[in-house]
Amino acid sequence: MATKNPTPRSGPVTGGDIGRRVAALDWPGIVSELDARGCAVIGSLLTPDECQAIVDLYPADEKFRSRVVMAKHGYGRGEYKYFAYPLPALVEALRKSLYPALAEVANRWNEAMKIDVRFPNDHAEFIERCHKAGQVRPTPLVLKYGPDDFNCLHQDLYGEHVFPLQVAILLKEPGSDFAGGEFVLTEQRPRMQSRAEVVPLGRGDAAIFPVRHRPVRGTRGTYRVNVRHGVSRVRSGSRYTAGIIFHDAK
Ligand SMILES: O=C(O)CCC(=O)C(=O)O
Ligand SMILES: [Fe+2]
């Protein structure tokens, strides 16, 4: 399941190296995991220093457009903040460089699910489509969980335009920084009960998963499986994640 990035580098958190790092990933392996299971893990996409640099941004309110206290909305327990534009260089580089390979998957999936929408291979072009439709607010975010915090199963839909895949990067080390707090996906097939998958992540690992649904081939053709994601209860310590969502919000 995990595709290891062989050369994670440490160094300044500029985002300058991310494009090359993403290009060097085993994309055929990632794509075949996405097609077969709906989820793929990129091992060590970010270095520990890069993870910490994102965690360190969290208190800097000027970098964010809003803060959400999850319990207030019934979303779970814990909090998150959406970045403001311009995004930090590292986050912008991740959003831009991860997009093109995922757009190819998204286009194939939409074709399989008989959904007419197709995605350009350049993220800036897709964002222009969002902005023209009034989806102008950036969606990349940082989530922060403490003891007993959790994230209810949900889908990150923010308007008419939806890019079908998203990425979550774990920024803390399970086992030492926190316990519990597993990343969970559930899949609901038509007329069947839901099935859960726990996705094991280490610090710096990135999970790629469907925003809303994915195609699964059955005996009577391809059908849509409804997917939701969330986080189980953090048993102790502090857990942070960075979420890269490719569509913007109304
Ligand atoms: O904290 C997590 O692992 C889940 C984050 C999440 O819901 C997201 O990135 O959209
Ligand atoms: Fe989410």
> DSSP letter at 126?
H
How many whole angstroms from 68 Cα to the centroid of ligand 1?
Answer: 13
Q: How high is the pLDDT of residue 8?
A: 45
List pocket residues of ligand 1, CB cut-off 6 Å: 143, 151, 156, 168, 183, 229, 231, 241, 243
Quote the pLDDT of residue 15.
76
Q: What is the Å distance from ligand 1's center to 241 Cα?
A: 6
**Rounded to the nearest 10 degrees, what angle do helices 27-37 and 89-112 cross at?**
50
Closest to 92 measured CA to CA, from 242, 249, 237, 250: 242
Which pTM does this prediction carry? 0.94
The pLDDT value recorded for residue 190 is 85
Residues 30 and 53: their CA atoms lie apart, in Å, by 26
Query: Residue 188 is inside which H or E element, if any?
Result: strand 183-188
Query: What's the CA-to-centroid distance between 170 and ligand 1, angstroms?
Result: 9
Cα gap 170→118, rounded to integer Å:
29
Atom of ligand 1 minimally distant from the CA of 201: 3
Give the distance from CA 61 to its chain's centroid.
22
The third-level CATH classification (topology) of the domain covering 2-244 is: Jelly Rolls (2.60.120)
Length of the chain: 250
Q: Which runs of consecutive H residues, i.e. helices, occur in the chain?
A: 18-23, 27-37, 48-57, 70-73, 89-112, 123-132
C-alpha of residue 90 to centroid of ligand 2, in Å: 19
Sign of the torsion formed by the C-alpha atoms of 116, 248, 103 and 186: negative
Give pLDDT tens digits along the chain (250 positions).
445 454 444 444 567 799 999 999 999 999 999 999 999 999 999 999 999 999 999 999 999 999 999 999 999 999 999 999 999 999 999 999 999 999 999 999 999 999 999 999 999 999 999 999 999 999 999 999 999 999 999 999 999 999 999 999 999 999 999 999 999 999 999 889 999 999 999 999 999 999 999 999 988 899 999 999 999 999 999 999 999 999 999 9
The ipTM of this complex is: 0.99
User: What integer pLDDT is reported at residue 16 of this predicted model?
Assistant: 73
Distance CA 211, CA 157 (A): 8
